[in-house]
């Protein structure tokens, strides 16, 4: 109950106002959706391989094999036609590839995936049982969404979880860009080197998508797949990337949406700074971990400089 936040939100909970600032507003996050592709032969990784004695010895002696994988086997940054049309200098999509795909039992261990979700995706009685098969997960990530969410108070009890409203896809442009990334992904799947690995021993490489009810009737894997199908897929399999930022946005005092200034001090108050991902005005074209560490390091330098000058 600091009293620092939007005036109307604090009044709703009868919290005395200390500073009317846009705390909790402008919530942003990277958005991804997952496509699990089945692989043929012994490509990809699974739980049995990861836990085998041979894998342990391979890593111990040569530092190679499944245990040497950093988890993310491949990543790349691209521009869709929307970024190109705007003459943007930055990518708007990141592709992340993990070769222990969602159909493998290894992924369920690593991601602590709910059993109900695995059953729905990979153990449907209406489709070929593909659970445990070798696979790769392909994640197109929307790097610069236009959609904005917010975080609000549930009550005055600090132990009550807040109300988080991501508002994903409140901007149609986000839907369009993510749909375009799916088209690019289908092009990648159609490339000869990858297509050879995705033969899946006669099984459909994209069976994990096709057995879901939301995409029934969609000709996935076909280059004439409709935009409607692509939109349904990309929104249905959407997830957060846990890169939430900007609920204490940095900006000048004249900006009504800003909470802290360039020195990370909260506007209008003394003795309080914010030094985490919430001060980022916009999302970076990549993970937020390194920038957040930089923010903490910069804050430490500014605080040390301030006190050394005070002495």
Is 43 an active-site residue? no
pLDDT reported for residue 37: 78
**Angle made by CA atoms 77, 80, 83, in degrees to the nearest 5:** 100
Nearest-angstrom CA–CA distance, 77 and 285: 9
Catalytic residue among 13, 119, 236, 243: 243
Residue 214 has a pLDDT of: 53
Residue 254's pLDDT is: 96
Residues 6 or more apart whose Cβ sits within 8 Å of residue 13: 153, 155, 156
Q: Does 191 or 245 have the greater pLDDT score?
A: 245
What does the pLDDT read at residue 183? 87
Weakest mean pLDDT among 42-56, 78-92, 219-233, 256-270: 219-233
pLDDT band at 90 (very low <50, low <70, confident <90, very high): very high
pLDDT at 18: 96
pLDDT tens digits along 227-238:
887 777 777 778
Sign of CA pseudo-dihedral 254, 257, 262, 268: positive
Helix H segments across 198-253?
207-210, 227-236
The pLDDT score that the predictor gives to residue 118 is 58
Task: Name which residue leads in pLDDT, 121 or 156.
Answer: 156
Percent of the chain with pLDDT over 90: 51
Which tokens hold the place of 177? Answer: 């860009």
DSSP-derived 3-state class of residue 281: coil
Contact 254, 261 (CB under 8 A): no
Question: Mean pLDDT, to the nearest integer, of 130-158?
Answer: 87
Q: If you ran DSSP here, which 8-state letter would residue 201 be given?
A: G
Return the pLDDT at 303: 95
- 67-81, 97-111, 116-130, 294-308: which is most confident: 294-308
Tell me which of 214-228, 237-251, 287-301 is least confident. Answer: 214-228
Tokens 């995706």, located at residue: 121
Exposed e or buried b for every residue in 24-41, given b needs 16+ CB within 10 A? bbbbbbbbbbbbbbbbbe
Residue 126: is its pLDDT beyond 50?
A: no
pLDDT tops 90 at residue 249? yes
The DSSP code sequence of 61-124 is: HHS-SGGG--S--EEEEE--HHHHHTT-SS-SEEEEEESS-TTSHHHHHHHT--HHHHHHHH--
| Pairwise CA distance, residues 73 & 81, whole Å | 26
User: Looking at residues 21-28, what average pLDDT do you find?
Assistant: 97
């Amino acid at each position: 109950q600091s009293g620092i936040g939007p005036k109307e939100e604090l009044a709703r909970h009868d919290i005395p106002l200390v500073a009317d600032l846009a705390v909790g507003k402008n919530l942003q996050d990277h958005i991804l959706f997952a496509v699990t592709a089945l692989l043929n032969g012994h490509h990809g990784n699974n739980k049995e391989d990861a836990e085998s004695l041979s894998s342990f010895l391979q890593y111990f002696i040569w530092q190679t094999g499944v245990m040497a994988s950093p988890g993310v086997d491949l990543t790349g940054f691209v521009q869709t036609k929307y970024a190109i049309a705007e003459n943007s200098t930055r990518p708007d999509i990141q592709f992340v590839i993990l070769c222990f795909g969602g159909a493998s039992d290894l992924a369920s261990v690593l991601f602590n995936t709910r059993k109900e979700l695995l059953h729905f995706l990979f153990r449907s009685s209406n489709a070929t049982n593909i659970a445990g098969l070798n696979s790769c997960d392909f994640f197109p990530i929307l790097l610069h969404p236009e959609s904005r969410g917010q975080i609000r108070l549930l009550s005055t009890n600090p132990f009550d979880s807040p109300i988080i409203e991501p508002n994903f896809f409140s901007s149609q442009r986000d839907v369009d860009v993510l749909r375009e990334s799916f088209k690019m992904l289908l092009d990648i799947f159609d490339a000869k080197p990858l297509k050879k690995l995705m033969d899946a021993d006669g099984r459909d490489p994209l069976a994990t998508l096709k057995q879901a009810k939301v995409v029934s009737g969609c000709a996935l894997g076909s280059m004439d797949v409709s935009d409607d199908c692509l939109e349904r897929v990309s929104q249905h399999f959407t997830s957060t990337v846990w890169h939430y930022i900007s609920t204490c946005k940095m900006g000048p005092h004249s900006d009504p949406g800003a909470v802290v200034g360039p020195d990370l001090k909260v506007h209008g108050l003394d003795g309080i700074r914010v030094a985490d991902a919430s001060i980022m005005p916009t999302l970076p074209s990549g993970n937020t971990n390194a920038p957040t560490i930089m923010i903490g390091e910069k804050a430490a330098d500014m605080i040390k400089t301030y006190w050394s000058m005070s002495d």
